[in-house]
Amino acid sequence: MASDEFTGVVAFITVAQERSFTRAAAKLGVSQSALSQTIRTLEAKLGVRLLTRTTRSVSTTEAGARLLDTAAPRLAEVQAEMAAVSEMRDKPSGSLRITASEHAADTLLWPKLANFLKSWPDINIEVAVDYGMKDIAAESYDMGIRLGDEVASGMVAVRVGPDQRFAVIGSPDYLAIHSAPKTPWDLEHHNCVSFRLPTYGGLYAWEFRKAKKEIRVRVDGQIILNSLNQVINAALNGVGLAFVPRDAVELHIADGRLQELIPAWCPMFPGYFLYYPSRRETSRAMKLLVEALRYRI
């Protein structure tokens, strides 16, 4: 295969997988016009249309689907072998993409990444903060970090943090006007800061447990947020009560800016785990990062 044909096939596979000339061009590091010309040249060489373009999407033709099914796995094998050869160099290198929740990124990932990046200057890392449960293989992530009970089956899971305790919190200003709740049922009479999580399909229901009794309370309030830091700020400003990981507000509780409420009802949850597909070939860079993040008592 001539080099221009190989370039054309790589370009076609990238566009077909990304379903976008814009994203494919960014991934390949070329202009959209150059990418379009490469695809047109390949189609002219083969004498068939490979892609159907509309103003909003890109899809494969029947011929394109056949080429994608046969060529993409072989290209992946070539890329894997090239990556393996590259890993034989003295210095580990490469790029890793990680998806993590905001709390995990702030409390676990970044504190360790700072030293990791300094120790391994040839390793590049992209962190995407998102509360939704990503299909990391389909969306080209190398790994994800989520609470243990959110990790899908079929994944290699490595603990990266201790178990988590949640806390109901409120500011002294808010509690000076409203009586502090004594049980989870009392929350029905309070202005609560709601947290919208894609993982739960909507607003997060506050989870409580005492002895063998477990309840979920769907709270109500004036404001709905989708960022943990925003939820904490709302509580600090006296907007209402909030339900958050306790370690995220320990300093505020210690200095009196927030008060912890009904702690006897607030349970422990499985801590954060790093996960990736069990069949994935792990590079040296990825192995180093996994060990750097691994939780050790």
Domain-wise residue ranges, the chain: 3-82, 94-162+271-293, 164-269
Q: What is the pLDDT of residue 134?
A: 64
- Identify the segments of the chain with pLDDT beneath 70: 1-3, 86-90, 132-134, 198-201
pLDDT value, residue 224:
92
Residue 161: exposure state from Cβ atoms within 10 A (0-12, 13-18, ≥19):
buried
Domain boundaries 3-82, corresponding CATH code: 1.10.10.10
Torsion angle of the four alpha carbons 140, 145, 147, 150, in this order, in degrees rounded to the nearest 10? 10
Residue whose C-alpha is closest to residue 126's, from 96, 100, 101, 166: 96
Task: Just give the CATH number of 164-269.
Answer: 3.40.190.290
Homologous superfamily of 94-162+271-293: Periplasmic binding protein-like II (3.40.190.10)
In tens, the pLDDT along 252-283 reads: 999 999 999 999 999 888 889 998 888 777 88
Contact 252, 204 (CB under 8 A): no
Beta bridge partners of 244: 167
* Structure-token pair, residue 222: 């004036």
Q: In the structure encoding, which two tokens stand for residue 157, read together?
A: 């899971």
pLDDT of residue 292: 94
Write the CB contacts of 296 (distance below 8 Å, at least 6 apart in sequence): none
Are the C-beta atoms of residues 113 and 72 closer than 8 Å to each other? no
Question: Is there a shared CATH topology between the 94-162+271-293 domain and the 164-269 domain?
Answer: yes
CB contact set of 260 (below 8 Å; sequence gap of 6+): 167, 168, 169, 246, 253
pLDDT at position 11, please? 86
